[in-house]
C-alpha cells in the first residue's frame, strides 16, 4: 500500500562522481545539499557571496564575477558601524571599508573562478519577491535589517524571471559551455511574505523556470524537484523543523536520497558507503580509549582513511583517531 504520490525524477545526463567539481548558488536550501556533499567528501563550493534568494540577485553577482567588474565605494555601505553590500548576504561584512572591498573582491573572484571550472552548478531559487532600494532604484540581494521604508517590495513577474534565467545560463555557457546546470526550487516556506504571497512567489518561479527549461535545447539544464518532493511525498508537518518553515533532518535525508538516485553516478555508491562508514566511526566515543579493542578499531579506521585518501587525494577527513 502506498501512502503518498511519488514524484517521477528523470536521471541527470552528466552525473556527479568524485571527479566532479560542484558549485552551489542560491537560497538556504543549497546549504542542505552542500552539507551532504561535504559529508560524502565531494569537491564543492557553496555560495561564495552568501545566500541569494531571488534570481535577479544571482544574475547580478554572476555577471559581476564573470566580467571582473571593478568594485568600489558604490558597491558597499556602512550601517551601525559595519560595512556591507546590498548585492550580497549579510554574512559578508567587515569593520572597515578597505577590508569590505578586499573581501568582496576575493569572493567575487572566487565565484568567477568556480563558475569557469565547475562540472556542475546547482542553482536554487528561493523566492520571486524582491526589494528595490528607493534611492538607487536598484534591486538588492539583502536588506540587512535596514528599515523597510527605504525599500519597495515587488513580486517579480514570470517574464522578468525568465529573462533573468536566460541571462544566468547564457553567462555561464559563455565561459563554461560543458557545465551541467541543475535547477531547484527551494522547499523552504517564506511565510514572512504571507501564506498566499509565498504560494504566488513559488508559482512564478515554477512557471518561469519550466517555461525556460522547455525552450532550452542544449541538454545541459536539468530540474531536480526538491519543492515537489516536499509538497507531495512529504506532505506533513512532521517533516518540518520547529519553525514549520524549513525541512527537518528527516526530510533533508529523504530529498538527498532522491538526489542521489537521480544525480549521483552509481559507480561511486560503494565509495560513498566507505566514506559514510568512516565519518560515523570518527564520531564514535569509546568508554575506555585505552582498551585494546578500541586501539584495534582506531588502527583499522586509520587504514580505511589512508586507502580512500590514496584513491581520492582531495578527501580530507578530520582524523579524531590520533
15-51 pLDDT, tens digit per residue, is 999 999 999 999 988 999 999 999 999 999 999 999 9
CA–CA distance, 230 with 106 (Å, rounded to integer): 36
Is there a contact between 193 and 156 (Cβ–Cβ < 8 Å)?
A: no
Question: Residue 172 in contact with residue 115, Cβ under 8 Å?
Answer: yes
Residue 55 domain-assigned (yes or no) = yes
Q: At what angle do helices 158-175 and 195-215 cross, to 10 degrees?
A: 50
With vertex at residue 235, the alpha carbon angle to CA 232 and CA 241, rounded to the nearest 5 degrees, is 130
**Is 18 within 8 Å of 312 (Cβ atoms)?**
yes
Residues in the chain: 322
> CATH no. for residue 177?
3.40.50.1110
The answer to the question of residue 9 being in a domain is no
Integer CA distances (angstroms), 28 to 74, 131, 184, 185, 297, in order: 27, 18, 12, 11, 38
The grid cell for 293 is 579493542
Task: Say if residue 218 is in the same domain as residue 271.
Answer: no
- Same domain for 313 and 252, yes or no, is no
**Cβ neighbours of residue 311 under 8 Å, at least 6 residues apart?**
271
**Boundary of a domain, candidates 238, 264, 290:** 264
User: For residue 320, is it within any domain?
Assistant: yes
* Stretch (H or E) spanning 297: helix 292-311
Compute the half-sphere exposure of residue 141: CA atoms within 13 Å on the CB side of its CA. Answer: 28
Rounded Cα distance, 247 and 154, in Å? 26
Q: Could you tell me the pTM of the whole model?
A: 0.92
248 and 282 in a single domain? The answer is no
Q: In the predicted model, what is the mean pLDDT of residues 313-322?
A: 71
Q: 140 and 214 in one domain?
A: yes
Q: Hey, what long-range contacts does 257-262 have (CB within 8 A, 24 or more apart)?
A: 258/7, 258/9, 258/229, 259/33, 259/36, 259/224, 259/226, 261/9, 262/9, 262/10, 262/11, 262/12, 262/224
**pLDDT tens digits for 151-186?**
999 999 999 999 999 999 999 999 999 999 999 999
- What are the pLDDT digits (tens) for 181-239? 999 999 998 888 899 999 999 999 999 999 999 998 767 999 999 999 999 999 888 99
Query: Does some domain include residue 92?
Result: yes
Long-range pairs, 198-203, Cβ under 8 A, ≥24: 198/127, 200/128, 200/155, 201/127, 201/128, 201/129, 201/155, 202/127, 202/128, 202/227
End-to-end CA distance of the chain: 49
pLDDT at residue number 1: 65
Q: Are 161 and 306 contained in the same domain?
A: no
Domain assignment present for 31: yes
User: For residue 92, which of 141, 125, 135, 36 has the smallest C-alpha distance?
Assistant: 141
Helix (H, G, I), strand (E, B) or coil at 18: coil
Residue 320: pLDDT band by 50, 70, 90 thresholds? very low
Question: 232 and 219, same structural domain?
Answer: yes
Is there a single domain that holds both residue 58 and residue 118? Answer: yes
Whether 278 is covered by a domain: the verdict is yes
Instruction: Tell whether 248 and 101 lie within a shared domain.
Output: yes
Q: How far apart are alpha carbons 57 and 53 in whole angstroms?
A: 7
Strands 43-46 and 21-26 come out as: parallel
Query: 234 and 316 share a domain?
Result: no
For residue 322, what pLDDT is reported?
42
The answer to whether 122 and 25 have CB atoms below 8 angstroms apart is yes
Domain that holds residue 320: 267-322
Residue 170 is predicted with a pLDDT of 95
H/E stretch holding 123: strand 120-125
Q: Are residues 178 and 145 in the same domain?
A: yes
Report the mean per-residue pLDDT for the chain.
92
Of 264, 281, 306, which residue constitutes the final position of a domain?
264
Within-domain flag for 95: yes
What is the pLDDT, as a whole number, of residue 108?
Answer: 93
In angstroms, the Cα distances linking 29 to 24, 97, 104, 207, 316 are 10, 31, 23, 20, 24
Residues 251 and 275 in one domain: no
> For residue 5, is it within any domain?
no
Q: Is the pLDDT of residue 67 over 90?
A: no
Q: How many domains does the chain have?
A: 2
Residues 88 and 116 in one domain: yes
Amino acid at each position: 500500500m502506498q501512502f503518498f504520490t511519488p514524484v517521477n525524477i528523470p536521471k541527470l545526463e552528466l552525473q556527479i562522481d568524485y571527479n566532479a567539481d560542484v558549485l552551489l548558488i542560491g537560497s538556504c536550501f543549497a546549504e542542505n545539499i552542500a552539507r551532504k556533499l561535504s559529508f560524502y567528501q565531494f569537491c564543492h563550493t557553496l555560495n561564495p557571496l552568501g545566500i541569494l534568494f531571488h534570481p535577479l540577485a544571482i544574475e547580478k553577482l554572476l555577471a559581476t564575477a564573470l566580467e571582473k567588474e571593478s568594485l568600489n565605494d558604490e558597491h558597499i555601505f556602512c550601517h551601525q558601524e559595519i560595512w556591507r553590500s546590498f548585492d550580497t548576504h549579510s554574512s559578508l561584512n567587515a569593520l572597515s571599508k578597505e577590508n569590505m572591498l578586499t573581501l568582496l573582491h576575493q569572493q567575487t573572484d572566487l565565484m568567477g573562478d568556480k563558475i569557469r571550472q565547475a562540472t556542475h552548478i546547482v542553482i536554487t531559487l528561493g523566492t520571486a519577491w524582491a526589494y528595490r532600494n528607493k534611492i538607487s532604484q536598484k534591486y538588492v540581494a539583502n536588506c540587512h535589517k535596514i528599515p523597510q521604508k527605504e525599500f519597495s517590495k515587488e513580486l517579480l513577474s514570470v517574464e522578468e524571471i525568465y529573462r533573468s534565467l536566460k541571462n544566468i545560463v547564457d553567462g555561464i555557457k559563455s565561459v563554461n559551455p560543458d557545465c551541467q546546470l541543475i535547477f531547484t526550487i527551494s522547499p523552504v516556506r517564506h511565510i514572512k511574505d504571507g501564506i498566499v504571497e509565498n504560494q504566488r512567489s513559488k508559482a512564478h518561479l515554477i512557471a518561469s523556470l519550466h517555461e525556460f527549461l522547455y525552450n532550452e535545447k542544449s541538454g545541459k539544464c536539468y530540474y531536480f524537484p526538491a519543492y515537489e518532493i516536499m509538497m507531495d511525498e512529504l506532505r506533513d508537518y512532521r517533516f518540518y523543523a520547529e519553525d514549520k518553515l524549513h525541512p527537518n533532518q528527516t526530510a533533508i535525508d529523504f530529498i538527498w536520497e532522491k538526489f542521489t538516485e537521480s544525480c549521483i553516478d552509481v559507480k561511486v555508491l560503494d565509495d560513498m558507503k566507505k566514506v559514510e562508514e568512516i565519518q560515523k566511526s570518527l564520531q564514535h566515543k569509546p568508554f575506555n580509549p585505552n582498551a585494546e579493542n578500541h586501539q584495534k578499531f582506531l588502527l583499522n579506521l586509520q587504514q580505511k582513511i589512508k586507502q580512500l585518501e590514496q584513491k581520492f587525494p582531495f578527501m580530507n577527513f578530520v582524523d579524531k583517531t590520533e
